[in-house]
Chain A
Amino acid sequence: IAGITQAPTSQILAAGRRMTLRCTQDMRHNAMYWYRQDLGLGLRLIHYSNTAGTTGKGEVPDGYSVSRANTDDFPLTLASAVPSQTSVYFCASSEVGGYNEQFFGPGTRLTVL
Chain B
Amino acid sequence: DQQVKQNSPSLSVQEGRISILNCDYTNSMFDYFLWYKKYPAEGPTFLISISSIKDKNEDGRFTVFLNKSAKHLSLHIVPSQPGDSAVYFCAATGVSSGGYQKVTFGTGTKLQVIP
Q: Which residues of A contact B (CB under 8 A)?
A: 4, 31, 35, 40-45, 48, 50, 56-57, 90, 92, 94, 96-107
Contacts and interface: CB of A to CB of B under 8 A. Distances in A.
B105 A101 contact: no
7 A-B pairs with the lowest CB-CB distances in the bound complex, closest first: A104-B43, A101-B46, A99-B32, A43-B105, A42-B107, A42-B105, A104-B44
A89 to B, nearest CB: 10
Contacts, number: 58
A42 B108 contact: yes
A48 B100 contact: yes
Given A42-B105, A42-B108, A43-B105, A90 B43 contact: yes
B107 A45 contact: no
Contacts of A100: 101
Interface residues of B, number: 27
